[in-house]
Structure formats: C-alpha cells, structure tokens
Amino acid sequence: MHNIQMAERVKNLPPYLFAEIDRMKQDTLSKGVDLIDLSIGDPDIPTPSHIVDAMINAVKKSEHHRYPSYEGMLSYREAVAKWYKNRFNVSLDAKTEVLSLIGSKEGIGHIPLAFVNPNDIVLVPTPGYPVYPVATLFAGGESFFMPLIEENDFLPDFGLIPVEVLKRTKLMFLNYPNNPTSAVAKKDFFIQAIELASKYNIIICHDAAYSEIYFDDKRPFSFLELDGAKETGIEFHSLSKTYNMTGWRIGFAVGNKNVIAGLGKIKTNLDSGIFQAIQEAAITALDTPDSILSDIRDIYQQRRDVLYEGLRKLGIDCKKPSATFYLWAKVPKGFDSSNFVSHLLTNAGVLGTPGVGFGSPGEGYIRFALTKPVDRIKEAIERLGKVL
C-alpha cells in the first residue's frame, strides 16, 4: 500500500487542542525545569492497599485466567447493585440493569453505536469530556453542542435548543459533578432533563464519574433517584476516580434495561469483558469502608482550599468547587486560555489546561487539577505570584 488514507471519520476528528501544550510541556521538561503539572485528571494517590491485596489473591486463581463473561461476572454486577442501594437507595436488577465496562470511557465511547443512526443528533455539553462528540462522530451522528456558561451555573439551557433539533435527537450526554467546570446540578435540573427526554424520546446518558469526589459533606445524588429516570436513560460510573483506580480500567453502566441491553450488544461484538481478577478486586473496592474514602476526600479538600485561597489572593476569579478534583478559573485580563497557559508554563513552570481545549465556551478559563500534594500546590501559588 502506497497511499494510506485515513477514513473520513478519522479525518473529521476535531483538532487535538492539547497537542501544542504537550509539545511545550516536553520542551519545558527537557530543559530540566521543576514542572508542577496541574493539568492531569489522574489521581496521584495510590489505590488503597486492601484493593491491591484482593487483586493479588484473585490473580492467582486459575478460573480467572479464562475469557470472562461479556456482561461481567454476576457477583460484580450484584456488588454494583448493592453499592447503588446503599449509596443512593436505588434498586437495580443485577442481571438486566447493570453492565460492566472497561472503564466508563469505553461505555461512553460505544453507546452511540447502539442507538445513533446517520443524521441523528446527540446533545453534547461544551466545554466537556471530548469523548461525547467523538463517539457521536464515529457512529455517524451529529453533535448539537449545549454551552455551559457561568451565567447559567454551567448547566445547559434546554430552552435554547430548537424544536427541529430536539425532534432529530436520539441521545443526550450530561455530566455532573462536571468536568471541567466542577459545577454540580440540582435535582430540578435533572427533572427538567427527564421531562424533555420523555417528550422527545431522547435517551439520557449521565456520566457520574465524580459522584464520590465531593466536599463539605455535600453528597451528589444519582440521576436514577428521580422519578422517570429509569424509563429515560442510564448512568455511567467509574471506579477510576472514586478508588484511585484509573489504570485498572473498570467501571459500569446502570439503568434502563433496553439501553443497557443495546450497549451490551455492541460490547459482545467488540470486546471480551474485563479480566475477572480485576472484577473480583473491584467487588472489594465497592465494599470499601467509608472512612477510607473520606480520608481521600479530605486530601482533595485540603488541596482545594489551598489552591482556591491562593488563587483568590492573586486576584484570580474562580468558584470554590463542591465536587470533582478540578478548579475552573478565569484567566486574567489581557490573556486568552492558551497564552495564559503558556505564560504560566514558560515563566513559572506551572501547567494548567486551557479551557478552550474542552470546547469554545471554555475560552477565557483555565482548569487546574488537584492531583498534586499540598506543598507542590503552595509552591505553584508562590511561583504564580511572581509572574502575575
């Protein structure tokens, strides 16, 4: 083959806006700069040791060395149902309303393949997790972007979506607590979303990856707690952020059994499930005593307080997040997202993520992740003070 051409769906991928930042980061590192990287949405804290120990035991069992079942071990799905009952008081049928995922990204990436036809529309929040529009594109669908702006508390305004669009809409992604804005939603908002979805026959896909990373005892709710939710859609969850297990690749989808079955059908044809030893360790993870999780939350909360207070003192405008491990801050006058990020990287050795990389309404913002220890965050604030 002499002329290797990418498929249209790959050629049509939006430009990777973080590529330039990656290049600058490598440049900075190669100069030997002591970089404080606050751009990474990946916990620096290790997986709790009781989960690692469960994995060590599970990996020795030869019955786990074979192909796993497609839909996930029943014992894993039962552990998910039990966790849901304890945490949200929502009852789930482990056999039909729970599906294991190779991380929630995998499920989010595949769901449009099950339900979206060419010319169907998917409602996508922006700024947002880039997988929503890309998965839509791969399925041949069209994204209609719902801007998340500060004036509307970073919630989509459904009143702005034309009726013609709603009639063609098959699926809607929502994500609260939100990455990148760290906004949380009230139940009223989800009640509105369910009403809209019922009226126009739209499947709601709620990405709840950050439901367990919250502060000041403000526990987020599950979309499935609301009346009509289970008729309307599903919720994606991840063990990645809750248990510091990003590398393990395990998550789950729960909710409407027809939607779960549709996603399951795609997966049956594409992957062969999750290594059972990981599922067994995940069962242990889901049973983690709350004291361990609240210790993890305390660490993030302390970091949040230091970063928030520090940025405010420097005159940087941001809201104090009540969930997620991100701070969504306004860039100062005279900068845009990208040149502010490069200013901080070049002159202070501190890296954030330009808001515009998550979608155009993210212009004018920078995202800082709380994935570095307090002393590094203090050092970052000190350095920022010298270049602002």
Ligand X SMILES: *Cc1c(COP(=O)(O)O)cnc(C)c1O
Give the footprint of ligand X on this chain (CB under 6 A). 41, 103-105, 129, 175, 179, 207, 209, 238, 240-241, 246, 251
Residue 186: burial class (beta carbons within 10 Å; 0-12, 13-18, 19+): exposed
Q: How far apart are CA 115 and CA 171, in angstroms?
A: 8
**Residue 175 C-beta: closest distance to ligand X, Å:** 5
**Residue 115 C-beta: closest distance to ligand X, Å:** 19
**Residue 132 C-beta: closest distance to ligand X, Å:** 9
Q: How far apart are CA 334 and CA 5, in angstroms?
A: 42
Q: Quick one: 177 or 349, whose CB is closer to ligand X? A: 177
Q: Quick one: 144 or 252, whose CB is closer to ligand X? A: 252
**Residue 104 C-beta: closest distance to ligand X, Å:** 4
Question: What is the sign, positive or negative, of the torsion defined by CA atoms of 218, 219, 220, 224?
Answer: negative
Whether the Cβ atoms of residue 193 and residue 225 lie closer than 8 Å to each other: no
What residue ranges in 109-250 does DSSP mark as E strands?
A: 121-126, 142-147, 169-175, 203-207, 233-238
* Pairing status of strand 326-330 against strand 98-101: unpaired
**Residue 121 C-beta: closest distance to ligand X, Å:** 21
Q: Quick one: 102 or 259, whose CB is closer to ligand X? A: 102
Residue 219: burial class (beta carbons within 10 Å; 0-12, 13-18, 19+): exposed
**Residue 205 C-beta: closest distance to ligand X, Å:** 11
Q: Quick one: 182 or 301, whose CB is closer to ligand X? A: 182
CA distances to 162, 175, 339 from 32, rounded to whole Å, are: 52, 38, 22
Q: Quick one: 102 or 114, whose CB is closer to ligand X? A: 102
Q: Quick one: 251 or 255, whose CB is closer to ligand X? A: 251
- Please tell me what DSSP assigns to residue 333: T
**Residue 151 C-beta: closest distance to ligand X, Å:** 22
**Residue 328 C-beta: closest distance to ligand X, Å:** 13
Q: Quick one: 107 or 262, whose CB is closer to ligand X? A: 107
| 144: region left, alpha or beta (phi > 0 left; psi from -120 to 50 alpha) | beta
The counts of H helices and E strands in the chain are: 15, 12
Q: How far apart are CA 97 and CA 288, in angstroms?
A: 23
**Residue 377 C-beta: closest distance to ligand X, Å:** 20
Q: Quick one: 181 or 256, whose CB is closer to ligand X? A: 181
Q: How far apart are CA 253 and CA 337, in angstroms?
A: 34
- Please tell me what DSSP assigns to residue 219: P
CA distances to 41, 114, 276, 314, 361 from 37, rounded to whole Å, are: 10, 37, 34, 19, 24
Q: Quick one: 211 or 301, whose CB is closer to ligand X? A: 211
**Residue 308 C-beta: closest distance to ligand X, Å:** 20
Identity (one letter) of the amino acid at 192?
Answer: Q
Q: Quick one: 48 or 251, whose CB is closer to ligand X? A: 251
CA distances to 88, 154, 204, 239, 267 from 80, rounded to whole Å, are: 12, 30, 20, 11, 19
